[in-house]
């Protein structure tokens, strides 16, 4: 028992020399060595995971050998630790977390030198830009360096997040602080306590050269990487917090604009029409009764709109969002379309489905991206935007469908079924029940 005060004294002494992570955060860098890190490069994380295990391990070993190698000119390792700082000489492969992260908040500090260039890869995707914002020659201006660090530089020109909102870099010799918040593909960044990227979508760099209908969003999970790019950079106080799914949904809900109108009062179906007897109100949500179906719709005709809502699926749950529904017939055919609401594991439970039936798809018409649903028993957040003949669907912060229904070749319609309502310019928004107790809440409509 007499040893306890001495042990506590030792812990107190250690913590006095090490920065304390904020509440809920854990250190990615322990201040002593590269434990928890491996080598990496600008390499599609999906492709890495698809490699045979032996080939994948060999590739990681190759990157790690480059990361830990010694600079032949200086005799100093490319990556080293001094005074609880992680230092890179500008060369060698990237410091990459061994662990993959989904939704997270990252805090870190960095200090660099003139003419240096670096960045932070999010889920293995480039990048949060770090560079010399004092450069002002023609090339530097064309790249955007004078605008400052912190932008999502690999995003397409003119898109949100490509350039930082303000220039927030500190002078050389001073430490800069990043706070990076990522939910789905949505990224917000603060540099030195100034917001430089506001809820922007990080584009998937690795698919940018593919045809638009083949491009995928960023992975649901991937590593955090510290890039090397020709100039010394120092890192310290690198802390991460994994964001729970419920918090992610709450955050996305908070982004609903004030102009959006709530169309469900949480108590009853006032303002709704259709097969109301087949739906029930449970815990301030609209839920299709088990074994029942039919179409329930908000009794206000819409043309262009954005619908935001949260949904909860049972195993193999199936429902749909009726888009420009005429009030009779099937929304998928008599309406403009039905946006599928379906358990991502439906086919594993009930049997095979076709690509145009996966969650978020324009039913029978256009295929959505899979793999971004939260587990059964957890709420999901979805935004569906209808403008003219185009439909965009964003699930849990990830764009999973971006299609123009007027440009879809009828010969590709699922089962060659005609869609007589495809060109409807207005109609109702609602739910298409298919016998499963799928629930919806926090339902809003925003008109242009």
Domain match, 171 and 105 both: yes
pLDDT at 328 over 70: yes
Domain match, 134 and 232 both: yes
Domain match, 181 and 64 both: yes
62-102: pLDDT as tens digits:
999 999 999 999 999 999 999 999 999 999 999 999 999 99
Domain closes at, from 192, 218, 243: 243
Residue 344 lies in a domain: yes
Q: Are 40 and 93 in contact (CB under 8 A)?
A: yes
Domain match, 226 and 274 both: no
Domain match, 282 and 178 both: no
Domain closes at, from 214, 243, 272: 243
Instruction: Quote the CA–CA distance of 355 and 385 in Å, as a whole number.
Output: 21
pLDDT at 14 over 60: no
Q: Read off the pLDDT of each residue in 270-289 and give the average, rounded to a whole number.
A: 98
pLDDT at 363 over 60: yes
What sign does the CA torsion over 124, 163, 155, 184 have?
A: positive
Residue linked to tokens 């009062």: 265
Structural domain range at position 342:
251-446
Please state which of the ranges 15-29, 65-79, 211-225, 246-260 shows the lowest mean pLDDT: 15-29
Residue linked to tokens 């991206």: 369
Domain match, 237 and 265 both: no
Instruction: Quote the CA–CA distance of 381 and 237 in Å, as a whole number.
Output: 32
Domain match, 318 and 391 both: yes
161-174: pLDDT as tens digits:
999 999 999 999 99
- CATH number of the structural domain spanning residue 91: 2.60.120.560
Domain match, 238 and 381 both: no
Instruction: Quote the CA–CA distance of 278 and 276 in Å, as a whole number.
Output: 5
- pLDDT confidence bin for 229, thresholds 50/70/90: confident
pLDDT at 15 over 50: no
Residue linked to tokens 């007499």: 2
Domain match, 234 and 262 both: no
pLDDT at 230: 83
Tell me the three state secondary structure of residue 208.
coil
Residue 431 lies in a domain: yes
Name the burial class of residue 27, with classes exposed (0-12), middle (13-18) and buried (19+) by CB atoms within 10 angstroms of its CB: middle
Instruction: Quote the CA–CA distance of 118 and 338 in Å, as a whole number.
Output: 45
Total length of the chain = 448
- Return all residues near 84 (Cβ < 8 A) that are at least 6 apart: 17, 18, 19, 31, 32, 236
pTM of the entire predicted model: 0.93
Residue 307 lies in a domain: yes
- Return all residues near 128 (Cβ < 8 A) that are at least 6 apart: 119, 120, 122, 150, 151, 152, 178, 180, 187, 189, 197
pLDDT at 2 over 60: no
Instruction: Quote the CA–CA distance of 114 and 171 in Å, as a whole number.
Output: 10
Q: Are 153 and 164 in contact (CB under 8 A)?
A: no
Residue 3 lies in a domain: no
pLDDT at 1 over 70: no
402-441: pLDDT as tens digits:
999 999 999 999 999 999 999 999 999 999 999 999 999 9
Domain match, 53 and 135 both: yes
pLDDT at 385 over 60: yes
At residue 62, φ and ψ (nearest 5 deg) are -65, -45
pLDDT at 46: 97
Residue 2 lies in a domain: no
Domain match, 230 and 273 both: no
- Minimal CA–CA distance to 67: which of 45, 39, 86? 39
Task: Give me the chain's average pLDDT, please.
Answer: 95
pLDDT at 18: 52
125-165: pLDDT as tens digits:
999 999 999 999 999 999 999 999 999 999 999 999 999 99
Residue 429 lies in a domain: yes
Q: How far from each other are the two terminal CA atoms of the chain, in whole angstroms?
A: 70
Q: Are 275 and 294 in contact (CB under 8 A)?
A: yes
Q: Read off the pLDDT of each residue in 193-211 and give the average, rounded to a whole number.
A: 97
The domain total for the chain is 2
Domain match, 205 and 277 both: no
pLDDT at 78: 97
- Print the SS3 string covering 78-102: CEEEECCEEEECCCCCEEEECCCEC
Neighbours of 408 (CB within 10 A): 18
Tokens for 296? 């329930």
Domain closes at, from 226, 243, 260: 243
pLDDT at 245 over 50: yes
Residue 7 lies in a domain: no
């Amino acid at each position: 028992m007499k040893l306890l005060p001495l042990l506590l004294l030792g812990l107190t002494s250690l913590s006095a020399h090490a920065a304390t992570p904020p509440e809920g955060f854990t250190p990615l860098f322990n201040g002593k060595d590269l434990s928890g890190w491996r080598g990496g490069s600008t390499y599609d994380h999906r492709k890495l995971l698809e490699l045979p295990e032996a080939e994948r391990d060999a590739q990681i070993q190759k990157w790690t050998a480059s990361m830990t190698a010694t600079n032949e000119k200086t005799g100093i390792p490319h990556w080293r630790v001094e005074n609880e700082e992680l230092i890179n000489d500008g060369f060698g492969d990237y410091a990459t977390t061994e662990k993959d992260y989904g939704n997270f908040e990252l805090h870190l500090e960095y200090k660099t030198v003139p003419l240096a260039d670096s960045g932070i890869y999010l889920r293995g995707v480039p990048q949060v830009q770090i560079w010399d914002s004092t450069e002002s020659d023609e090339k530097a201006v064309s790249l955007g360096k004078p605008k400052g660090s912190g932008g999502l530089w690999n995003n397409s020109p003119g898109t949100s997040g490509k350039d930082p909102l303000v220039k927030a870099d500190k002078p050389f010799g001073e430490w800069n602080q990043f706070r990076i918040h990522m939910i789905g593909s949505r990224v917000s960044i603060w540099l030195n306590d100034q917001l430089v990227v506001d809820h922007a979508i990080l584009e998937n760099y690795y698919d940018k050269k593919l045809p638009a209908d083949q491009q995928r969003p960023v992975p649901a999970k991937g590593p955090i990487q510290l890039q090397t790019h020709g100039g010394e950079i120092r890192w310290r106080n690198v802390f991460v917090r994994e964001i729970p799914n419920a918090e992610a949904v709450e955050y996305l809900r908070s982004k609903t604009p004030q102009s959006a109108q709530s169309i469900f009062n949480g108590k009853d179906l006032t303002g709704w029409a259709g097969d109301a007897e087949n739906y029930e109100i449970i815990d301030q949500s609209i839920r299709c009764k088990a074994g029942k179906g039919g179409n329930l719709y908000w009794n206000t005709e819409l043309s262009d709109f954005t619908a935001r809502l949260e949904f909860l699926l049972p195993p193999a749950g199936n429902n749909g969002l009726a888009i420009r529904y005429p009030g009779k017939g099937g929304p998928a055919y008599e309406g403009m379309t039905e946006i599928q609401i379906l358990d991502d594991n439906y086919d594993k439970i009930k049997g095979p489905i076709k690509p145009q039936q996966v969650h978020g798809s324009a039913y029978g018409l256009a295929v959505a991206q899979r793999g971004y649903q939260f587990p059964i028993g957890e709420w999901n957040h979805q935004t569906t935007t209808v403008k003219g003949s185009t439909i965009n669907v964003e699930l849990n912060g990830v764009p999973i469908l971006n299609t123009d229904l007027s440009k879809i070749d009828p010969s590709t319609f699922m089962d060659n079924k005609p869609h007589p309502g495809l060109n409807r310019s207005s109609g109702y928004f609602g739910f298409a029940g298919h016998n499963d107790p799928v629930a919806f809440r926090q339902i809003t409509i925003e008109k242009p």
